Amino acid sequence: MAKVLISGASIAGPTLAYWLSRNGHDVTIAERAPAPRPGGQAIDVRGVGVTVLSRMDLLEAARTRRTTLNGVSVVDINGNELWRSTEETLSGGRFDTDDIEILRDDLAGILLDQIQPQVRMLYGETIKAMAEHDAGVDVRFEHHPMETFDLVVGADGLYSNVRRLMFDESGSVHSLGVGLAVFTTPNFMELNNWQIAHREGQGGFLIYTARQSTEVRVALGFEFNECEDARLSLDAQKKLVAKRCAHFTWEVPRLIEAMWTASDFYFGAVAQVKQESWARGRIALVGDAAYCPSPFSGQGTSLALVGAYVLADELGRDLEGRDQAFSRYRERMREFVALNQALATSDGAPSDKDQALAHAKCAISL
């Protein structure tokens, strides 16, 4: 049995914790938020990602919590409908597939419930420093006393703290030129299980109902230069979003007003991670920290689920052969990652994109 620390409690972290604890390891998750994070976009579980949920006995739970959207309207900047469909949404794709669209916080909650009480949770905690030696990794936390672990895994997202502390990450984050704000508001628009979308160049908005249409999740996007630091203060982020989205009309000014009091506001650059190494010594990366494909791919959740499953599978019950396990992990994931990252920048016809997605979401053997 090994003592493992995982940084991050969204999707990849709890999934990895589940499989490692099943293999008999002593697992701790450190999460900088003080409690499970609310909010987030509707996310998709597709292809082999669905297989991973099935093997965790969570498929029925995920299907029960899937979004209940009935369709989508594409509108102009003034809210006039240009096109509609009752066969798909822009966020989740067609309804006649086995794919699952689910709110991020719902899927994270399902995963966290599944790992209790086997996995120790350290909420409100951040790794400040790590020192690797022959016997393990000494981890210094912001609040918790220092501990030594046999293995540390960064599942802490696009701007991974573990990657920053322990890897050469120069040039690993590749901006796609868009800033994205996501938050929740009450459903003052009186939408009923519906999605509304507008796109202009690199920007636009996506609005859709959640929680039995009592609330709406809002995504506002705009052209974003990486020099405009996405890690500004919360107030500065909201001011930036309000300024860059001030030209939107229709209901968007009311949504921006609601943004100021949203408790789950998130803003960041839409970007990919192309990291040369996913492991070194006793430290590894998984999910967005290692190979974020960006929200434009629609495959970030599936990559996180599958990557965590493959990493745990290769590590097995004995971490002594971790160097070989890390090598096999990268080899098994390499093509799957490349194909899914390519989805975010594909400019082909819709039929070509559909074919590419069909290939990408299953391009790995579990």
CB 146 within 8 A of CB 129: no
pLDDT score at 363 = 86
User: Across residues 311-338, what is the average pLDDT?
Assistant: 95
> What is the spatial distance between Cα 99 and Cα 357, in angstroms, rounded to a whole number?
12
* Mode of pairing for the β-strands spanning 120-123 and 147-149: unpaired
- E-strand ranges in the chain read 3-7, 26-31, 42-45, 72-75, 81-85, 88-89, 93-94, 100-103, 120-123, 127-133, 136-141, 147-149, 151-154, 173-186, 195-200, 203-210, 215-223, 266-273, 279-280, 283-285
Contacts with 16 (C-beta within 8 Å, 6 or more apart), sequence order: 6, 153, 155, 286, 308, 311, 312
pLDDT value of position 318:
86
Q: DSSP secondary structure string, 96-163?
A: SSS-EEEEHHHHHHHHHHHTTTTSEEEET--EEEEEEETTEEEEEESSSPPEEESEEEE---TT-HHH
- The residues, any chain, with a CB within 8 Å of residue 119's CB and separated by 6 or more, are 14, 17, 18, 21, 27, 28, 29
CB 7 within 8 A of CB 153: yes
Lowest mean pLDDT across 39-48, 214-223, 226-235: 226-235
pLDDT tens-digit series, residues 105-152: 999 999 999 999 999 999 999 999 999 999 999 999 999 999 999 999
The pLDDT tens digits for 197-227 are 999 888 899 999 999 999 999 999 999 987 6
The pLDDT value given to residue 222:
95
> CB-based contacts of 184: which residues, under 8 Å, 6+ apart?
38, 39, 210, 215, 216, 217, 218, 262, 263, 264
d(CA 192, CA 141): 45
pLDDT at 350: 63
User: Which one has a higher pLDDT value, 230 or 241?
Assistant: 241
Say what the pLDDT of residue 169 is.
Answer: 83
Q: Mean pLDDT score of the chain, rounded to an integer?
A: 94
pLDDT of residue 133: 96
Token pair belonging to 14: 């709890």
Classify 357 as helix, strand or coil. helix
Lowest average pLDDT, out of 14-28, 186-200, 217-231, 241-255, goes to 217-231
Q: What is the rounded average pLDDT of the residues 307-335? A: 95
Could you tell me the pTM of the whole model? Answer: 0.94
Query: Which of 7-11, 45-49, 94-98, 348-352 is predicted with the least confidence, judged by mean pLDDT?
Result: 348-352
Q: For position 279, what pLDDT does the model report?
A: 97
Cβ neighbours of residue 134 closer than 8 Å, sequence gap 6 or more: none
d(CA 63, CA 60): 5
DSSP state of 295: G
Give the tens place of pLDDT for each residue, 245-255. Answer: 999 999 999 99
Among left, alpha and beta (phi > 0; psi -120 to 50; other), residue 281 is left
CA distances from 56 to 3, 59, 111 (A): 22, 8, 9
**pLDDT at residue 228 tops 80:** no
Is it the case that residue 301 has pLDDT exceeding 90?
yes
Q: What is the pLDDT of residue 346?
A: 74
- In this structure, of 21-30, 55-64, 81-90, 230-239, the range with the lowest mean pLDDT score is 230-239
- Over residues 291-302, the mean pLDDT reads 95
Task: Note the pLDDT of residue 225.
Answer: 82
- Choice between 229 and 145, residue whose per-residue pLDDT is larger: 145
pLDDT of 229 reads 65
Provide the 3-class DSSP secondary structure of residue 336.
helix
Query: What local confidence, expressed as pLDDT, does residue 184 receive?
Result: 96
| Segment 153-170, tens digit of pLDDT | 999 999 999 999 999 888
Look at residues 208, 337, 333, 225 and name the one whose alpha carbon lies nearest to residue 270: 225
- 272-296: pLDDT as tens digits: 999 989 999 999 999 999 999 999 9
